[in-house]
């Protein structure tokens, strides 16, 4: 038995396997030990043919398990695998087998066996039961007629891998499904690079480029990477494999492509990790104001924290998308989307306060509205303020304000704060805050105005009757007059019926619209001067109250309705 050909038989678990092999363990999960089974043969010799047949049989037996077999040529050995053989072989006899870089010099055999299949299988099974000492995530892509391998190694061992302590190497192997010697798997290129230093728990990236590959079938070409080291330290002579992994086609993927949140109940933040070549850098953007990503980008190993702000959700289900773009300095570019469904099952706290204004007043004064907000909770909240102009249902100005726990926030001029156009309208406050709102007119003789009544206090159901005292004026300079403020809380128009004595009138209020009926007694019901009681009833949910105006100062006083006494 003479020196001859070397067949490199690699038995590895399919962590990151070729298309269809499955078994990819992404995102830092603990990996099983992957076994490398290397052998040396002489093409055509009887004993080598017999050994090769046994290897092919093993390939069939292990087809559903994380195992693959590779073959190399001893006369033209690739990369640095020959040095591992030389460290344990005694006479270069064929067929020669070593497992996991010879497992500290223990797992190897050479020469013939009466039962190659049983011998080789026992070696594979023993090595597959061992634990991995590092984790590996490996990708590859074709660049011209070369293969670039991206190998990321996470040191899960208790020792520091470095040339001065425990020397370690990362190997890349490119192989083709082709019968060149004695099996159907032949190594076309192999290379190795030393690990410069990797402390326990640290991760390192290694890029390995093959030479030019000619005369190969690229559809049947695959790549893998493995890490081995000297378990005896710097002065040791034996080698052992720590882990190996197939190279997946270069790609980028998040650990989740869909996230669901339900409030109340859900934790508002979810962590998303990324898989792909270690050289990638990612950036993320959101298409919804209630959906944020932190950080907005980083290296592949940095996870994204995706957060839904419940205070900015509307009632019910809504969807958003986080788009993540990953690029590398060597020309790779990928895009992935994470779809987010957020369900707000608890209606948000909404206050409607009709009667805000930024409008001219009497005696060259100006009406304006001030607001005081208070966060009564023990957590930070977001409040959204919106102005809907009188007789309109479309928001004309809005702003979101953040309030710390317990914070009180005064707003001296609402329209200025929201950069709203002048006019009168309805203020909608959404969020877990309390709001006090005052519309007033400050002139040389003093200040007058009114506290606006929120919808929680003056909301009435369809068909419910409310009674309001109203003043009707025929002389606006000497007699009090009353205005009726109405807000339709329905998504469709409602009819509001006004009655006083024999007089009645029906007013249609558009959906979600605030209106003010000035001089309601005179202009709507045609009542004589004096005080009367007006009955108000609507076909939907509504808000209403009366403002009675002083004829001298123009000072409005809020008058709230009362329900009729039970008969």
Q: Residue 22: what pLDDT?
A: 29
Beta strands 248-249 and 134-143 are parallel
3-state SS string for 365-417: CEEEEEEEEECCCCCCEEEEEEEEECCCCCCCEEEEEEECCCCEEEECCHHHH
Greater confidence (550 vs 482) lies with 482
Partners of residue 500 on adjacent β-strands:
503
How many percent of the chain have pLDDT more than 70? 90
pLDDT above 70 for 469 = yes
25 pLDDT band (50/70/90 cuts)?
very low
Question: Rounded CA gap, 479 and 181, in Å?
Answer: 113
- Global confidence as pTM: 0.67
219 pLDDT band (50/70/90 cuts)?
very high
* First and final C-alpha spacing in the chain: 118
Q: Residue 23: what pLDDT?
A: 30
Q: Which CATH number fits domain 253-344: 3.40.109.10, 3.40.30.10, 3.40.640.10, 2.60.40.10?
A: 2.60.40.10
Residue by residue, DSSP assigns 304-331 as EEEEE-GGGPPSEEEEEEEEEEEE-TTS
Q: Residue 551: what pLDDT?
A: 86
pLDDT above 80 for 67 = no
24: CB partners within 8 A, 6+ apart: 14, 15, 16, 17, 248
The yes or no reply on domain 37-249 and CATH 3.40.50.300 is no
Q: Residue 74: what pLDDT?
A: 65
Greater confidence (277 vs 82) lies with 277
How crowded is the C-beta side of 281, counted as CA atoms within 13 Å? 7
**Average pLDDT, rounded, for the chain:** 86
Q: What is the mean pLDDT of residues 257-263?
A: 95
Q: Tens digit of pLDDT for each residue in 83-140? A: 887 787 665 677 777 777 778 777 888 888 889 999 989 888 888 888 899 999 999 9
Task: Kindly report, as residue ranges, where domains of CATH 2.60.40.10 are found in the chain.
Answer: 37-249, 253-344
Question: Rounded CA gap, 500 and 517, in Å?
Answer: 15
Q: Tens digit of pLDDT for each residue in 152-211? A: 999 999 999 999 999 999 999 999 998 887 788 888 999 999 999 999 999 999 999 999
Asked if 446 and 362 touch (Cβ cutoff 8 Å), the reply is: no
In this structure, the dihedral spanned by the alpha carbons of residues 72, 76, 81 and 85, taken in order and rounded to 10 degrees, is 90
362 pLDDT band (50/70/90 cuts)?
low
Task: Kindly report, as residue ranges, where domains of CATH 2.60.290.11 are found in the chain.
Answer: 350-451, 459-559
Q: Tens digit of pLDDT for each residue in 520-554? A: 999 999 999 999 999 999 999 999 989 888 888 77
Q: Residue 38: what pLDDT?
A: 67
Q: How far is CA 256 from the centre of its chain?
A: 8
pLDDT above 50 for 14 = no
How crowded is the C-beta side of 361, counted as CA atoms within 13 Å? 22
Residue range 459-559, CATH number = 2.60.290.11
Residue 59: left if φ>0, alpha if ψ -120 to 50, beta else—which one?
alpha
CATH topology of domain 350-451: Hypothetical Protein Tm1070; Chain: A (2.60.290)
């Amino acid at each position: 038995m003479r020196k001859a050909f070397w067949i490199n038989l690699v038995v590895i678990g399919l962590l990151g396997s070729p298309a269809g092999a499955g078994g990819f363990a992404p995102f830092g999960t603990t990996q099983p030990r992957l076994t490398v089974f290397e052998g040396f043969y002489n093409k055509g010799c009887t004993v080598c043919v017999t050994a090769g047949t046994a290897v092919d049989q093993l390939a069939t037996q292990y087809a559903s398990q994380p195992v693959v077999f590779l073959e190399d040529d001893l006369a033209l050995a690739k990369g640095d695998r020959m040095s591992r053989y030389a460290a344990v072989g005694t006479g270069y006899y064929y067929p020669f087998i070593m497992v996991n870089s010879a497992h500290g010099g223990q797992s190897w055999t050479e020469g013939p066996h009466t039962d190659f299949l049983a011998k080789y299988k026992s070696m594979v099974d023993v090595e597959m039961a061992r634990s991995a000492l590092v984790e590996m995530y490996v990708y590859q892509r074709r660049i011209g007629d070369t293969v670039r391998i991206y190998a990321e190694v996470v040191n899960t061992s208790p020792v520091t891998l470095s040339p001065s302590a425990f020397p370690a190497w990362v190997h890349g192997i490119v192989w083709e499904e082709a019968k060149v010697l004695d099996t159907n798997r032949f190594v076309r290129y192999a290379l190795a690079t030393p690990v410069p230093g990797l402390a326990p728990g640290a991760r390192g990236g290694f890029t390995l480029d093959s030479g030019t590959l000619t005369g190969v079938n690229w559809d049947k070409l695959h790549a893998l990477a493995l890490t081995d080291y000297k378990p005896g330290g710097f002065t040791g002579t034996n080698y052992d494999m720590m882990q190996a992994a197939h190279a997946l086609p270069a790609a980028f993927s998040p650990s989740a492509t869909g996230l669901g949140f339900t409030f109340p109940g859900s934790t508002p933040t979810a962590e998303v990790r990324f898989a792909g070549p270690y050289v990638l850098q990612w950036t993320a953007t959101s298409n919804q104001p209630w959906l944020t990503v932190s950080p907005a980008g980083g290296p592949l190993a940095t996870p994204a924290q995706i957060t839904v702000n419940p205070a900015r959700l509307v009632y019910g289900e809504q969807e958003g998308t986080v788009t993540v773009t990953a690029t590398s300095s060597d020309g790779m570019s990928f895009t992935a989307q994470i779809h987010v469904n957020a369900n707000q099952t608890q209606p948000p706290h909404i206050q409607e306060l009709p009667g805000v204004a930024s409008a001219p007043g009497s005696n060259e004064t100006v009406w304006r509205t001030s607001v005081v907000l208070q966060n009564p909770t023990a957590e930070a909240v977001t409040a959204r303020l919106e102005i809907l102009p009188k007789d309109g249902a479309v928001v004309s100005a809005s702003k979101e304000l953040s309030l710390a726990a317990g914070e009180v926030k005064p707003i001296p001029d609402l329209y200025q704060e929201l950069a709203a156009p002048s006019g009168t309208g309805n203020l909608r406050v959404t969020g877990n805050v309390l709001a006090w709102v005052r519309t007033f007119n400050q002139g040389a003789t003093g200040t007058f105005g009114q506290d606006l009544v929120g919808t929680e206090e003056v909301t009435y159901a369809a068909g419910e009757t409310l009674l309001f005292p109203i003043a009707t004026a025929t002389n606006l300079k000497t007699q009090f007059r009353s205005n009726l403020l109405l807000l339709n809380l329905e998504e469709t128009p409602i009819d509001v019926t006004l009655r006083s004595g024999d007089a009645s009138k029906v007013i249609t209020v558009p959906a979600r619209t605030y209106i003010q009926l000035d001089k309601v007694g005179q202009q709507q019901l045609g009542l004589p001067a004096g005080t009367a009681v007006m009955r108000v009833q609507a076909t939907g949910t509504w808000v209403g109250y009366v403002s009675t105006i002083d004829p001298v100062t123009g000072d409005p006083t809020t008058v709230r309705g009362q329900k009729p006494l039970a008969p």
